[in-house]
Amino acid sequence: MAMGEIFNSKVEGIAAGGAGIVRLGDTPVFVEMTAPGDRVNCRITEEHRGWARAELLEVSEASADRVDPLCAFYGRCGGCRFQHVKYEAQLDAKRAVLCDAFERIGGFSPPSLRLVPSEPWEYRNRMEFHRLGSAGFGLKARKSAEVIPVADCPVADPGIRRVLKKTARGERVLALPPEKDRFTVYARGGVFLGEGGISRGKIRLLDREMHLDAGVFFQSNGTMLEKLIADLRELASGADRRLPMADLFCGVGTFAVFLGELFPHVDLVEENKRALALARENLRGRPAEFFALRDDEWIGARGRGARRGCGFIVADPPRQGLSSGTARRLAAEGPPLLAYVSCDPATLARDAAVLLDGGYRLAELRLYDFYPQTAHIESLSVFKR
């Protein structure tokens, strides 16, 4: 294998991140914009110990899983990775990546996986845009810092699509925050929130109203979030409800709003103080305590009620997963029932191995496809003593 070498091979599958996997001899080579089953001509662009990258030159034989992208900006925009792949094949690829992470990083085979699909288009309620000049905005390019002024985005909520189309026609419909080079908008059910304009508001989620701020993180696929909440509520109802529960990395308190009423008390733990302030609003009047702490600070706290025995914990960490201290303490002292919501298979598998060493078993694994057309993977792991 040498830099610049051109070869023809069949795409065996999809790797984490969305690139196709082909082989040059025994070496795996990652090629973007390919679909499982494609036969491709490609050129080596990067060499590493044990693997390589290549650029796609030509699809010499298209897979049955290859489709035409719906978006005119696909391939230039940095958001989507899978628009050239049938939705069913996208789900198969994500299932394989998640299971592979458990086997390769966690060192064990996960249980049978339940997959929860999404509507593949117009699902995304929350999007981040980048300023382009004094009044324009767009999305980051796929492989550079360039900002692309997109006229439409088929994965976006209809409310966001309307704003994009009007902006492309020259209408000034979106106020941009003057102090920011990038900003966030949220749209759902006729509500539109945006940094620079009306940032705070309320949305309907299942049978509740939630206070949101466009500048504070909130799940970007409301329909899938409702499905996850319903499943978590069913799961939590089987916990020891005489004991309190804890919501780690609680954000604006979404899970606690729906699950907390099942328990006599709920601890909400969130390092982001703006998010925790919204959580206080969303749980006003409920028996709850709020901790503006990192997960390891909360679990190590003494004399503040933070380590009261819990019957149930739900944790929804960022990509970094649990801190090593939190994973170890949960493994040693965690509740009989633990729900781990993950956005990164690698750190999930790492943390799962620690929890299993501490006496848990992975009782259930579910993949919720929050982000069709992208390589992002959201899952729920249910750990039981």
- The catalytic residue positions are 343
How far is residue 379's CA from residue 116's CA, in Å, rounded to a whole number? 9
How far is residue 163's CA from residue 174's CA, in Å, rounded to a whole number? 7
Distance of CA 377 to the CA centre of its chain: 6
DSSP annotation string for 336-378: SEEEEEES-HHHHHHHHHHHHHTT-EEEEEEEE--STTS---E
Burial class of 260 by CB neighbour count within 10 A (0 to 12, 13 to 18, 19+): buried
CA distances to 233, 246, 249, 286, 310 from 261, in Å: 10, 12, 18, 8, 14
Tokens 């089953």 found at: 37
Say if residues 142 and 55 touch (Cβ distance below 8 Å).
no
Say if residues 31 and 63 touch (Cβ distance below 8 Å).
no
Closest among 244, 280, 288, 284 to 262, alpha carbons compared: 244
Closest among 306, 303, 318, 333 to 246, alpha carbons compared: 306
Tokens 């458990």 found at: 102
| Both structure tokens of 369 | 């496809």
DSSP annotation string for 211-267: EEETTS---S-HHHHHHHHHHHHHHHTTS-TTS-EEEET-TTTHHHHHHGGGSS-EE
How far is residue 296's CA from residue 11's CA, in Å, rounded to a whole number? 42
* CB-based contacts of 22-30 (< 8 A; 24+ apart in sequence): 22/54, 24/52, 25/1, 27/1, 27/51, 27/52, 28/52, 29/53, 29/54, 30/54
